[in-house]
């Protein structure tokens, strides 16, 4: 049950109904860099943008919840009483094709399993809806509510307080990708069992939610970084790209070694364009780091899998090394992670960039790891969010991430990351 004050709920619904997406800016790297100081105007601009996006995501989640609930034949979250709805739904009687090869008992069990998965996904949506209500409230209190007086005489303590609010919004949304992945997985299981409509939870709607989440996190991070004294905020200009790659590869090696007991060596090979007068493109360092870690983990897993396939009597002492090539090509900085692993079969190709569709055999469980009283190891693969989210990060400001088999050598594959030099490329809302 929501505990939002009526004034906050009115603001939330008003932003939603007035078309929050029409009021949102389409951000570019250049736009972000232009917000280069901590001021009351800049703080309110970023908070208002976050507010719009939270309202939009709230509406998307409500629609997804209602669509799923209708497909399952029940009431949506928060609408157990039909009179609460501001519109009438016609009652639909659906015919059910009973599979002839299945007993009534088995069929009933399958339906129960599907309903259970449906309820799991509705619970995930309920959690996300409440999260967006609560974080909208945080922004509302500063922009429209009792806290708006804080922007008068915007002193250092007040600036830090606003930074803490941005930090809280980021922290509270820290697990929202995992929660959405849980919902998507449960919906797919229910769809498979009950033959539900394919449009109940479309990939496009999930992608829109995730992209909006990325922008929210970026805007929050931008103000927090400004408050810490970084004049370009969340944007890194003039970064040592080789250092960025090396940091990410080192992290991936630690994760691989912790999970598989060994990690392939990685050789970084910048070409002649990454030397001398080389000027790197502006980057969101945390995003590029994340993407390189993810493709490196995949390359390492694939490489070790091929190494383990070798005959024990003729097995190489170590897995094949992974090559990371860097170059400036066609107004992009290109980073290629090349492995000699098992490559991409049809199943892996189809699942690589599909959100919450992992090829991992065992799903990572944070609680199981913590019960060992050891440090929690980041998973090599589990929910199927690493690559899809990485490609989304690369695409926000005009870059890309692709994955293909190595045709020339006949083994392994190449992940190609492209970072655009165009700092005026506008992100899609």
Cα–Cα distance measured from residue 335 to residue 414, given in angstroms and rounded to the nearest whole number: 10
Least confident window among 11-20, 93-102, 228-237, 260-269? 93-102
Cα–Cα distance measured from residue 217 to residue 283, given in angstroms and rounded to the nearest whole number: 15
Report residue 393 CA to chain centroid gap. Answer: 8
pLDDT at 372: 37
Token pair of 377, please? 């190891």
Report residue 138 CA to chain centroid gap. Answer: 22
Q: How many CB atoms lie within 10 A of CB 310?
A: 11
Q: Where are the alpha helices (DSSP H) in 309-409?
A: 346-351, 366-370, 386-396
pTM over the 0.75 mark: yes
End-to-end CA, the chain: 29
Q: Are 46 and 35 in contact (CB under 8 A)?
A: yes
Q: Are 166 and 338 in contact (CB under 8 A)?
A: no
Map residue 381 onto helix, strand or coil: coil
Q: Are 110 and 101 in contact (CB under 8 A)?
A: no
Q: Are 120 and 189 in contact (CB under 8 A)?
A: no
Least confident window among 16-25, 100-109, 110-119, 410-419? 100-109
pLDDT at 191: 81
SS3 percent helix, strand, coil of the chain, rounded to 5, is 55, 10, 40
Closest CA to 264 of 272, 255, 273: 255
Top-confidence residue, 404 or 84: 404
User: Looking at residues 57-81, what average pLDDT do you find?
Assistant: 72
> Phi and psi (nearest 5°) for 355?
-60, 135
In sequence order, what DSSP letters do the residues of 243-312 get, joined into one string?
HHHHHHHHHHHHHHHHHHS----EEEEE-TTSSTT--PPPB-HHHHHHHHHHHHHHHHHHHHHHHHTS-T
Map residue 404 onto helix, strand or coil: strand
- Asked if residue 261 has pLDDT above 80, the reply is yes
- Asked if residue 195 has pLDDT above 70, the reply is no
Cα–Cα distance measured from residue 365 to residue 182, given in angstroms and rounded to the nearest whole number: 13
- Asked if residue 320 has pLDDT above 90, the reply is yes
Closest CA to 53 of 161, 211, 164, 206: 211
Token pair of 319, please? 């897995």
Cα–Cα distance measured from residue 423 to residue 356, given in angstroms and rounded to the nearest whole number: 31
Top-confidence residue, 105 or 363: 105
244 Cβ contact list (under 8 Å, min separation 6):
283, 285, 288, 289, 292
pLDDT at 71: 78
Cα–Cα distance measured from residue 250 to residue 257, given in angstroms and rounded to the nearest whole number: 11
User: Which of 141-150, 159-168, 202-211 has the largest mean confidence?
Assistant: 159-168
With vertex at residue 73, the alpha carbon angle to CA 67 and CA 79, rounded to the nearest 5 degrees, is: 65
Which residues is 405 bridged to in the sheet?
413
Closest CA to 136 of 40, 212, 57, 26: 57
Give the single-character DSSP code of 382. S
The mean pLDDT value of the chain amounts to 85
Buried b / exposed e along 183-220 (16+ C-beta atoms within 10 A): bbbbbbbbbebbebeeebbeeebbebbbbbbbbbbbbb
pLDDT band at 21; cut points 50, 70, 90:
low
């Amino acid at each position: 049950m929501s505990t939002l004050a009526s004034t906050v709920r009115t603001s939330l619904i008003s932003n939603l109904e007035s078309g929050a997406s029409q009021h949102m800016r389409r951000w570019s790297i250049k736009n972000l860099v232009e917000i280069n100081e901590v001021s009351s105007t800049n703080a309110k601009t970023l908070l208002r943008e976050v507010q719009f996006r939270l309202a939009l995501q709230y509406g998307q989640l409500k629609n997804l919840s209602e669509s799923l609930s209708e497909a399952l034949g029940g009431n949506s979250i928060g609408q157990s009483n039909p009179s609460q709805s501001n519109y009438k739904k016609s009652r639909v009687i659906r015919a059910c094709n009973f599979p002839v090869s299945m007993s009534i008992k088995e069929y009933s069990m399958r339906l129960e399993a599907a309903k259970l998965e449906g309820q799991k996904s509705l619970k995930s949506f309920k959690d996300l809806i409440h999260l967006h209500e609560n974080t909208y409230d945080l922004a509302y209190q500063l922009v429209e509510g009792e806290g708006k007086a804080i922007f008068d005489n915007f002193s250092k303590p007040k600036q830090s307080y606003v930074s803490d609010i941005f930090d809280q919004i980021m922290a509270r949304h820290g697990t929202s990708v995992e929660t959405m992945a849980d919902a998507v997985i449960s919906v797919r299981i229910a769809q498979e069992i009950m033959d539900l409509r394919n449009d109940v939870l479309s990939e496009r709607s999930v992608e829109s939610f995730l992209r909006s989440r990325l922008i929210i996190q970026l805007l929050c991070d931008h103000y927090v970084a400004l408050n810490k004294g970084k004049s370009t905020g969340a944007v890194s200009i003039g970064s040592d790209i080789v250092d960025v790659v090396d940091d990410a590869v080192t992290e991936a090696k630690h994760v691989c070694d912790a999970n598989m007991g060994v990690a392939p060596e990685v050789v970084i090979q910048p070409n002649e364009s990454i030397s001398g007068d080389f000027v790197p493109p502006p980057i969101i360092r945390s995003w590029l780091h994340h993407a390189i870690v993810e493709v490196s983990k995949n390359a390492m897993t694939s490489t070790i899998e091929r190494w383990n396939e070798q005959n024990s009597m003729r097995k190489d002492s170590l897995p094949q090394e992974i090559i990371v090539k860097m170059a400036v090509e066609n107004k992009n900085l290109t980073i290629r992670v090349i492995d000699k692993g098992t490559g991409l079969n049809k199943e892996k190709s189809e699942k690589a960039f599909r959100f919450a569709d992992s090829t991992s055999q065992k799903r990572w469980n944070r609680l199981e790891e913590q019960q060992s009283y050891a440090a929690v190891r980041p998973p090599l693969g589990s929910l199927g969010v690493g690559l899809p989210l990485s490609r989304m990060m690369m695409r926000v400001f005009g870059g890309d991430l692709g994955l293909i088999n190595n045709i020339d050598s006949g083994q392994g594959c190449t992940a190609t990351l492209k970072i655009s030099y165009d700092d005026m490329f506008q992100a899609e809302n």
